[in-house]
Amino acid sequence: MKSKIPLTKLISEEDLSLANNITFEFVAGTAHIDEKELTIPLQYQYLEKILLGNQTCVIPESIIITEKEGLDKLLSYSKHKIHKFFNLMDERNVSCLVVCNNAEVSNDIKKRAEKFAVPILRTSFPSKVVISSILDRIHNLVAETKVIHGTMIDVFGMGVLILGKSGVGKSETSLELITRGHRLVADDLVKLYKNRLGKITTTCYNSQAFGLMELRGVGIIDIDNIYGASALRPVKDLDIVIRLISWEEEQEKKKAGTYSRLDDTDITNFESLSGNKMFASDESRHSFYEIFNTKIYYREIPVGPGRNIATIVEVVVKNYLSQINRR
């Protein structure tokens, strides 16, 4: 894990998990902005709490968060004391001062920030949202990631990763799902990482390719232009992994004895409802896909003539929802 992150990289990171991306306005003190870094784990303080005591305590290499209350408290000090406070921030190598709720920054504070090269950033969001966003951005920047060849779709609120060999029909199935009102997260290359809550999160590997889909015989299509922004979702937690397998793959699995039309989950649910042990077997059936030491519900769907794969995907999701709702 990295020990430090450049401040400029953190500021440019997008908040994919939020409805509105948090943006920052540089107000003052940007002369040496490229040299500023944030130490991991993040240390942050609220300005109004720092100024409460008789002795000013600033944590080295931290960020300081404030709103109007903190700025008003700082302005109540003499110019000499304000000068000493910014000098202390410089000595402790404070990464930046973040002003929330678009609070007004006085010229006196701006002058001190410029003199001691303490960056002041301003945003319209409240402090609690800003801190949460910064922590998420740091985690996303340093977390282990994987890139998988597949297509990620939001189906009935569940994150579904569709895998399969090239040409098996992943994009075509996803396009059919989109026409039914479901939402595309990523096509072709899907980026996965574990978020701060421990869930596997997915997004498009290349932000510039977000909303684009490649269809054989058609080329690259823009989902936003054809179906509108409501057909897209920039980020989604992973709930289900579905692998599309060709007829040849299905036959190979049958010969190897690794293919079963029923898995342990189906058998357990059926036996629980019927009270019969009809399917008792020592055969190992895998119904989970493991990534980042996390088990994800997994199904394999054979592809063949006359099979509506999009409908089957919807049924898999509804079946999964019915199972978790019964728990």
Catalytic residues: 149, 170, 188, 261
Residues in a beta bridge with 146: 192
In sequence order, what are the residues at sequence separation of 6 or more whose Cβ sits closer than 8 angstroms to the Cβ of residue 260? 283, 285
Task: Please write down the HEC assignment for all residues of the chain.
Answer: CCCEEEHHHHHHCCCCCCCCCCCCEEEECCCCHHHCEEECCCCEEEHHHHCCCCCCCCCCCCEEEECHHHHHHHHCCCHHHHHHHHHHHHHCCCCEEEECCCCCCCHHHHHHHHHCCCCEEECCCCHHHHHHHHHHHHHHHHCCEEEEEEEEEEECCEEEEEEECCCCCHHHHHHHHHHCCCEEEEEEEEEEEECCCCCEEEEECCHHHCCEEEECCCEEEEHHHHHCHHHECCEEECCEEEEEECHHHHHHHHHHCCCCCCCHHHHHHHHHHHCCCCCCCCCCCCCEEEECCEEEEEEEEECCCCCCHHHHHHHHHHHHHHHHHHC
Q: Which residue has the tokens 């029909």?
A: 169
Place of tokens 């800003």: 130
CB contact at 8 A, 185 and 204: yes
Classify the C-alpha dihedral 140-144-147-151 as positive or negative.
Answer: negative
Q: What is the amino acid identity at position 312? A: I
